[in-house]
Amino acid sequence: MKILVLNVGSSTIKYSLFNDRKCLERGLDDRVRDYEKSLKNILKKVNNFDIIIHRVVHGGELNNCLIDDKVLKKIKKYSEYAPLHNIPELKIIKICKKLLPKMKQFAVFDTRFHRTISEKSKIYGLPYEYYKKGIKRYGFHGTSHKYISIGLKGKTISCHLGSGCSITAIKDGKSVDTSMGFTPLEGVLMGTRCGDIDAGVVIYLIKKIGVNKVDDLLNNKSGLKGLCGYSDFRDVSKKLNEKRVKKAFDVFVYKIIKYIGAYVAVLNGVDNIVFTGAIGENSSLLRKEVCKNLDYLGVRIDNKKNLKSEKIISSKSSEVMVMVIKTDEELMMVNEILK
């Protein structure tokens, strides 16, 4: 079976063509202005396939499934929670339906893997009626976290670090807790998102500058970009001699350490710590700085292996296995649907 996988962002379309589980081709349009035009260009390159699989960030309680009108309505509903992701994803699904009306389309949801987290983790300290209405923690990057957990036994802490960042506590392949919540805004500091913040600050800012400006501020102008002016971690890594940039780097590292520590407590120990995502896979300095603060767990890394970004970077004397695993969300999506 030939499968086209589409991973759509606010200004990007990543596409992959698979023959069953074998990837034949990958590509990226990272300057999308007209989604239909961009998709038509992709379809000129890959025009022989049997089904389409879409990555959809927020699916609420939905399972991975064939997309029909009922599913489209649900994706639209959850667009309010994750507008930067669900709105362009919904747009592409509709364009595919228009251009290829007989083609079966499937959705794989980032939220699906985190359906196993406990109720006590999902609930916010709001009146219980809001929890019943769906205001709770859902979690994201589930496809990535699930992919890296394959074959790992025991207690794992997965650090997906890229432009968006999330950390997940996993026990025997199942998500126990995760840093992102009701939206992808919660959790550790990110490229342009603030991560965890006192709700009182949000209320204060709304009164000062209004809802729309606060939305833009927290999602697009905060995080590393807000602290030092650079949202791309590659730029941050090159400018560490600048005081503000070094401060932003230190804050980022601190937030990661803090979540790892919290999840060690949640899991009552840890067997594996995994770094993945563009930053997790490529920044040996960040991995070194994070692991340096985990020596109380018996974490020891081999500096040579770390510099080479080998799969296992922990030393033989380490009591915790520390790994660098290149994530493959697209392959995971194919696995999910072929099952």
Backbone angles phi, psi at 23, to 5 degrees: -80, 125
CA dist., res. 213 & res. 257, Å (int): 31
* Residues 261 and 229 placed together within one structural domain of the fold: yes
Q: Report yes or no on 307 lying in a domain.
A: yes
Residue 182 lies in a domain: yes
Q: Is 110 a catalytic residue?
A: yes
pLDDT digits (tens, 9 = 90+) for 82-105: 888 899 999 999 999 999 999 999
Tracing tokens 């770390």 back to the chain, one arrives at 306
189/157 same-domain check: yes
Specify whether 90 is located in the same domain as 188.
no
Burial call 43-63: b when 16+ CB within 10 Å, e when fewer: eeeeeebebbbbbbbbbbebe
255-264: average pLDDT: 98
What integer pLDDT is reported at residue 200 of this predicted model? 98
- In this prediction, residue 109 carries a pLDDT of 97
> Are both 306 and 193 inside the same structural domain?
yes
Please give the mean pLDDT across all residues of the chain.
Answer: 96
| C-alpha span between 186 and 199 (Å, rounded) | 11
Does residue 184 sit in the same domain as residue 240? yes
Q: How far is CA 267 from CA 80, 144, 192, in A?
A: 32, 20, 29
CA–CA distance, 319 with 95 (Å, rounded to integer): 51
Domain count of the fold of the chain: 2
Q: Is residue 339 part of a domain?
A: no
Task: Please give the angle made by the CA atoms of 217, 219 and 223, to the nearest 5 degrees.
Answer: 85
Q: Are residues 45 and 184 in the same domain?
A: no
Residue 275: strand pairing partners: 159, 324
Residue 9 pLDDT grade (very low, low, confident, very high; cuts 50, 70, 90): confident
Query: What is the pLDDT, as a whole number, of residue 281?
Result: 98
Q: Which domain holds residue 323?
A: 118-329
Collect all residues with Cβ–Cβ distance below 8 Å to 120 and sequence separation of at least 6: none
What type of residue sits at position 222?
S
C-alpha 319/C-alpha 181 separation (Å) is: 31
* Domain finish residue from 109, 135, 169: 109
Residue with the bigger pLDDT between 33 and 50: it is 50
Q: Which of 29-33, 46-50, 93-97, 117-121 has the lowest mean pLDDT?
A: 29-33
Could you tell me if 132 and 182 lie in one domain?
Answer: yes
Residue 237 maps to which CATH number?
A: 3.30.420.40
Beta bridge partners of 321: 272
Inside any domain, residue 334:
no
Length of the chain: 339
Q: What percent of the chain has pLDDT over 70?
A: 100
Q: What is the mean pLDDT of residues 33-52?
A: 94
Per-residue pLDDT for 10 more than 80? no
93 and 125 assigned to the same domain: no
Mean pLDDT of 219-230: 97
Q: Pick the catalytic residue: 50, 110, 196, 302?
A: 110
Over residues 304-316, mean pLDDT: 98
Task: Looking at the structure, tell me whether residues 239 and 163 fall in a common domain.
Answer: yes
Whether 141 contacts 166, CB under 8 Å? yes
Q: Where does a domain end: 77, 109, 141?
A: 109
Band of pLDDT at residue 48, cut at 50, 70 and 90? very high
Q: What is the pLDDT of residue 114?
A: 97
